């Protein structure tokens, strides 16, 4: 082989290596862009939001999905209470520079990864913009390891809750058929704004299917008429005595009583979420409890190209500027 041929072979080898590296980098960027963030929220407390967040995340993890659940229910640590866990590190420690983000991640059931918000998310501004940006960047990098990042927000329409809701790719709004809960759910839809992420609606603690569907239709119709937003009904979770029993036992419902009606409904809901959130925008036409008549829904709002954590930082910065 001549010298020229040797040089040519070496150049071709370098070119092939560069192509492989570019393809791999492209795959990494594509995976990062595809990692959706799902916020689970409610207009008021006491509707079972955190219970659904935890059991839904576990059910998705059991499907083989890589799921990270951030407990952002500020000051209440509801997920920790439901699990009977006491993590030694949370985002407050990360913001204060006392530990790395990896050290704040702890293992949950079925391979679920959990992060406690602790007190760290209650007043992000107090840590200064540099600390917040550092943690947001770390969270963005962490999310690339997962198929889905779920955020269990606080209840109500406080600035902290709305920051997560407005920055998320998808939102599951949990309510009950009780009139005051419906009114508070409407307030959340209004606060999220017409250009916010598409809202999926879950009726919890429903006595019967007809009650849940009637309440969902009423909320959707009023929201569409006055706000121009029609949340997509994703199903209901029946009122079930196994739920408070599991809470008292500090066990996830899907482990404590997997055959209970509420557990079966949440497991079915995980299938709906996997199909719609991980594969495509939320669509009307089927729920965790079977088919329903398709609703006239607005198309999901186009999300900014930046990732969730950058959008969250932008929302926080905007709120501080107007505060």
Kindly list the domain boundaries of the chain, sorted by start residue.
1-33, 36-322
77 versus 262: which is more confidently predicted?
262
**pLDDT at residue 190 tops 90:** yes
CA distance 187 to 181: 10
**Residue 287: helix, strand or coil by DSSP?**
strand
**Mean confidence (pLDDT) of the chain:** 81
CA atoms within 13 A on the CB side of 149: 27
89 versus 315: which is more confidently predicted?
89
Grade residue 31 by pLDDT with cuts at 50, 70 and 90: very low
Only one residue has tokens 């709004």, namely: 173
pLDDT at 24: 55
DSSP label of 126: G
pLDDT at 42: 95
Grade residue 304 by pLDDT with cuts at 50, 70 and 90: very low
Percent of the chain with pLDDT over 90: 44
Only one residue has tokens 């929201």, namely: 223
15 versus 221: which is more confidently predicted?
221
The CATH number of 36-322 is 3.40.50.300
What sign results for the dihedral spanned by CA atoms 190, 119, 277, 253? negative
pLDDT at 15: 57
Two structure tokens written together for 250: 């500090």
Grade residue 292 by pLDDT with cuts at 50, 70 and 90: very low
Most confident listed range (10-24, 120-134, 206-220, 309-323): 206-220
198 versus 42: which is more confidently predicted?
42
pLDDT digit string, tens, across residues 8-25:
566 666 656 655 565 455
Of the candidates 53, 197, 70, 39, the one whose C-alpha atom is nearest the C-alpha of residue 143 is 70
pLDDT at 143: 82
Grade residue 73 by pLDDT with cuts at 50, 70 and 90: confident
Residue 96: count of CB within 10 angstroms of its CB: 12
190 versus 322: which is more confidently predicted?
190
pTM score, whole prediction: 0.80
Average pLDDT over residues 172-185: 96
Lowest mean pLDDT across 80-84, 234-238, 297-301: 297-301
Exposed e or buried b per residue across 198-225, where buried means at least 16 C-beta atoms within 10 angstroms of its C-beta: bbbbbbbbbeeeebbbebbeebbeebbe
Percent of the chain with pLDDT over 70: 74
242 versus 127: which is more confidently predicted?
242
CA distance 108 to 127: 28
């Amino acid at each position: 082989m001549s010298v020229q041929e040797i040089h040519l072979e070496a150049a071709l080898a370098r070119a092939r290596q560069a192509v492989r590296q570019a393809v791999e980098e492209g795959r990494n960027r594509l995976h990062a862009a595809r990692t959706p963030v799902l916020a689970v929220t409610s207009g008021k407390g006491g509707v079972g939001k955190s219970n659904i967040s935890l059991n839904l995340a576990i059910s998705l993890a059991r499907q083989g999905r890589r799921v990270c659940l951030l407990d952002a229910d500020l000051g209440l640590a509801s997920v920790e209470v439901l699990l009977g866990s006491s993590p030694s590190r949370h985002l407050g420690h990360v913001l204060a520079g006392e530990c790395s983000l990896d050290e704040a991640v702890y293992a949950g059931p079925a391979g679920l990864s959990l992060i406690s918000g602790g007190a760290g998310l209650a007043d992000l501004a107090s840590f200064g913009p540099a600390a917040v940006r550092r943690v947001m960047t770390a969270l963005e990098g962490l999310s690339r390891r997962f198929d889905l990042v779920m955020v269990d927000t606080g209840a109500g329409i406080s600035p902290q809750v709305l920051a997560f809701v407005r920055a998320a790719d998808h939102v599951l709004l949990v309510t009950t058929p009780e009139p005051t809960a419906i009114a508070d759910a409407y307030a959340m839809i209004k606060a999220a704004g017409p250009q916010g992420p598409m809202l999926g609606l879950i009726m919890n603690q429903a006595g019967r299917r007809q009650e849940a569907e009637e309440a969902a239709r009423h909320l959707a119709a009023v929201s569409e008429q006055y706000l121009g937003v029609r949340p997509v009904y994703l199903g209901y979770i029946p009122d079930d005595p196994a739920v408070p029993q599991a809470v008292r036992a500090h066990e996830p419902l899907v482990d404590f009583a997997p055959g209970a009606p509420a557990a079966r409904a949440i497991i079915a809901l995980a299938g709906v979420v996997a199909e719609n959130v991980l594969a495509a925008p939320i669509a009307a036409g089927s729920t965790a409890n079977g088919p329903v008549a398709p609703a006239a829904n607005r198309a999901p709002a186009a999300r900014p190209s930046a990732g969730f954590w950058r959008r969250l930082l932008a929302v926080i910065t905007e709120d501080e500027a107007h505060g």
